[in-house]
């Protein structure tokens, strides 16, 4: 029941960590790919020509019928762990809808990524839900190939970012009981090998493959190996009692985890997640890495300023829809805002193209100058550099204390901060067409990103965040107002000569 090059592959969860990386591999394999997305505009910029992006939601059964039509194999890579509501109920309903629609449309195979855990023992709600989803999908009558994995190690993965943040930021680690529980970590590259190879394999029944790396280690051992490779000395002090709730609040302070996701994760870490059935090794041509190689591979990607995908890029992970103000994306702290404007892209982008220098920053310019003055006091560049040209922008240009890192005329401007801060900072502006079915026009998106270094970086962000929130909110409003004013002036200048011509007649 292998899928050939002419058959359609459906990918759900393509905006998520695993799904995003799998999408890249599937695209390079020249297969016919269709992606299901609740917000197609978020995904459209990531896909290559020929990849179909369709609107749909596994919680809305009616939206799935057309999506699954003509699909041979469907990857089911969605979950609701970040939801504030009953995530297990949502997961169950999504699986029921998807399985029923797949059966109705004649889908031949569903590939599902679940979680390791011995079902003979009491499992956490998260692990129990992940395994229940596999059961629900199998109940649809469509063949289901389920992979069950433990900790995924890769730059940007939830587990790796947790480990990295703890070890990088805390010289002394208070380790609760769950840190000593055994797991079998798997490198993201090995997981992707399994997910791709299954497309070309003939398999009978509804097999469940338990997959993991070559080492069975605890989170504590993972932290020690990370510290060893980074050349860090860390003291780990075990404590006998630290509840999942307290642990999640602690993680929320020092790691890029939302507390509710951290709590669900920690509840799962109370159980061993190791491979009991090694049949995957005899079926697939994958030779999994050990912990040392998996961490080394992840670290080799850390210097990319933005990893290929982040676990929290998925809307479900953040538990948020449009309000991304003050959230964590991976290890980075984010203030992301957007506003609709009833203008074409080039007009909406015009104020962004003119930003900085003598024109200023559209809101509270005195605050920007004051910040530049403080930067000068500590040996920074301040705002004295201005702009090379009032309208032209080239990658590598300086704009006050920023340097242009990415520029796409009429669509995107990304600036990298060269001011003195305890970390790395970016300010990005994107203008995209409004989604189909809305009132048209453009979406102006503004994203301020900060990658803190150690505790000083975290303290800096949270101390200045109230002021940043005020400035960033005003900046976006100012850009939109300037775009509207520019459009109005353009209309007026075009109308005036016509009126004069009529008067002259």
Residue-wise pLDDT for 350-390, tens only, equals: 999 999 988 889 988 888 888 888 877 777 777 767 888 88
Give the highest mean pLDDT range of 4-13, 20-29, 420-429, 469-478.
469-478
**DSSP designation for 486:** H
The reply to whether 267 and 339 lie within a common domain is: no
| DSSP letter assigned to residue 122 | P
pLDDT above 90 (res 125)? no
Rounded mean pLDDT of 170-181?
A: 78
For residue 33, the model assigns a pLDDT of 94
Has residue 498 got a pLDDT over 70? Answer: no
Q: Are residues 454 and 476 in the same domain?
A: yes
Q: What pLDDT score does 348 carry? A: 93
Q: Which whole-number Å values give the CA distances from 107 to 38, 45, 121, 143, 314, in the listed order?
A: 21, 27, 33, 9, 25
Q: How many distinct structural domains can be found in the chain?
A: 2
* Same domain assignment for residues 218 and 295: yes
Check whether residue 260 and residue 131 sit in a common domain. Answer: yes
Share above pLDDT 70 across residues of the chain, in percent, rounded to a whole number: 79
Would you state the pLDDT for residue 266?
Answer: 62
For residue 243, the model assigns a pLDDT of 60
What average pLDDT does the segment 48-52 reach?
88
pLDDT at 497: 38
C-alpha 18/C-alpha 295 separation (Å) is 17
Query: What's the rounded mean pLDDT across residues 444-458?
Result: 82
**What pLDDT was estimated at residue 187?**
95
Would residue 194 count as lying in a domain?
A: yes
Q: Is residue 1 part of a domain?
A: no
The pLDDT score that the predictor gives to residue 268 is 60
Is residue 91 a part of any domain in this protein? yes
| In the block, residue with structure tokens 């060269």 | 418
- Do 88 and 236 share a structural domain? yes
How high is the mean pLDDT of the chain?
80
The stretch 313-342 carries a mean pLDDT of: 58
The verdict on 141 and 288 lying in the same domain is yes
9 pLDDT more than 90: yes
Residue 500, domain member (yes or no) = no
CATH number of the domain encompassing residue 421 = 3.30.530.20
273 shares its domain with 329: no
**Is 447 in the same domain as 385?**
yes
Band the pLDDT of 172: cuts 50, 70, 90.
confident
In a domain, 387, yes or no: yes
121 CB-contact burial (10 Å; exposed 0-12 / middle 13-18 / buried 19+): exposed
What's the mean pLDDT in 212-230?
91
Q: Is 362 left (phi over 0), alpha (psi -120 to 50) or beta?
A: left
Single residue among 311, 336, 357 that ends a domain in this structure = 311
Claim to verify: residue 306 and residue 359 sit in the same structural domain: no
**Amino acid 458: pLDDT:** 77
CATH of the domain at 129: 3.40.50.720
Q: Is the pLDDT of residue 22 over 90?
A: yes
**Residue 29 belongs to domain spanning:** 8-311
Query: Do 331 and 306 fall within a single domain?
Result: no
Residue 503 lies in a domain: no
| pLDDT on residue 113 | 94
Same domain? For 279 and 379 the reply is no
Question: Which of 43-52, 59-68, 347-356 is least confident?
Answer: 43-52
Higher pLDDT, 288 or 328: 288
Report if residue 499 sits inside a domain.
no
Whether residue 347 is found in the same domain as residue 283: no
Q: Which residues of 370-403 are buried (b: 16+ CB within 10 A; e: fewer)?
A: ebbeebeeeebbbbebebeeeeebeeebbbbbbb
pLDDT at 106: 94
Confidence (pLDDT) at 328: 47
**Which residue in 19, 27, 26, 102 sits closest to 66, CA to CA?**
102
Is 18's pLDDT higher than 50? Answer: yes
142 with 107: CB under 8 angstroms?
Answer: yes
Q: Indicate whether 235 pLDDT > 90.
A: no
pLDDT at 313: 44
Of 311, 341, 373, the domain-final residue:
311
The model's pTM: 0.64
Residue where a domain stops, chosen among 278, 311, 344:
311
State pLDDT tens for residues 400-417.
Answer: 888 898 899 988 999 998
The average pLDDT across 115-133 equals 79
Q: What is the pLDDT of residues 30-46, one digit of tens each?
A: 789 999 988 787 677 67
| Inside any domain, residue 430 | yes
């Amino acid at each position: 029941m292998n899928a050939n090059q002419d058959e359609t592959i459906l990918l759900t969860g393509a905006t998520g960590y695993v799904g995003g990386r799998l999408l890249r591999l599937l695209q390079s394999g020249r297969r016919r790919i269709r992606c299901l997305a609740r917000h197609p505009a978020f995904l459209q910029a990531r896909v290559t020509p020929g990849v179909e992006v369709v609107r749909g939601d596994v919680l809305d059964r009616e939206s799935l019928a057309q999506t699954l039509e003509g699909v041979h194999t469907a990857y089911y890579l969605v979950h609701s762990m970040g939801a504030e509501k009953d995530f297990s109920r949502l997961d169950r309903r999504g699986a029921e809808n998807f399985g029923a629609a797949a059966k109705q449309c004649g889908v031949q195979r569903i590939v599902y990524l679940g979680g390791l855990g011995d079902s003979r023992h009491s499992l956490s709600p998260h692990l129990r839900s992940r395994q229940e989803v596999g059961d629900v999908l199998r109940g649809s009558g469509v063949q289901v190939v389920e992979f069950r994995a433990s900790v995924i190690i890769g730059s940007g993965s939830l587990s790796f970012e947790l480990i990295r943040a703890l070890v990088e930021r805390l010289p002394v680690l208070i380790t609760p009981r769950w840190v000593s529980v055994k797991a079998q970590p798997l490198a993201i590259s090995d997981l992707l090998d399994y997910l791709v190879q299954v497309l070309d394999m003939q398999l009978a029944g509804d097999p469940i493959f338990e997959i993991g790396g070559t080492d069975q280690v605890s989170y504590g051992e993972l932290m020690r190996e990370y510290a060893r490779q980074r050349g860090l000395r860390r003291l780990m002090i075990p404590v006998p009692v630290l509840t999942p709730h307290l642990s999640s609040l602690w993680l929320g302070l020092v790691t890029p985890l939302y507390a509710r996701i951290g709590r669900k994760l920690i509840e799962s870490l109370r159980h061993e997640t190791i491979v009991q059935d090694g049949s995957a090794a005899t079926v697939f041509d994958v030779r999994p890495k050990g912990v040392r190689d998996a961490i080394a591979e992840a670290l080799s990607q850390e210097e990319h300023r933005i990893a290929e995908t982040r676990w929290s890029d998925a809307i479900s992970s953040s538990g948020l829809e449009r309000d991304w103000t003050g959230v964590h994306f991976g290890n980075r702290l984010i203030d992301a805002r957007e506003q609709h404007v009833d203008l074409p892209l080039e007009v909406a982008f015009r104020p962004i193209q003119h930003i900085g220098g003598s024109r200023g920053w559209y809101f509270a310019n005195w605050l920007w100058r004051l910040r530049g003055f403080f930067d000068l006091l500590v040996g920074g560049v301040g705002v004295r550099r201005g702009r090379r040209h009032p309208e032209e922008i080239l990658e590598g240009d300086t704009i006050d204390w920023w340097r242009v890192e990415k520029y796409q005329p009429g669509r995107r401007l990304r600036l990298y901060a060269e001011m003195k801060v305890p970390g790395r900072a970016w300010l990005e502006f994107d203008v995209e067409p409004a989604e189909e079915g809305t009132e048209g026009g453009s979406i102006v998106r503004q994203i301020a990103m900060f990658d803190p270094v150690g505790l000083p970086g975290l303290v800096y962000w949270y101390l200045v965040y109230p002021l940043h929130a005020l400035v960033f909110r005003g900046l976006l409003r100012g850009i939109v107002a300037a775009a509207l004013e520019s459009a109005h002036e353009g209309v007026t200048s075009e109308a005036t000569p016509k009126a004069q011509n009529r008067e002259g007649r």
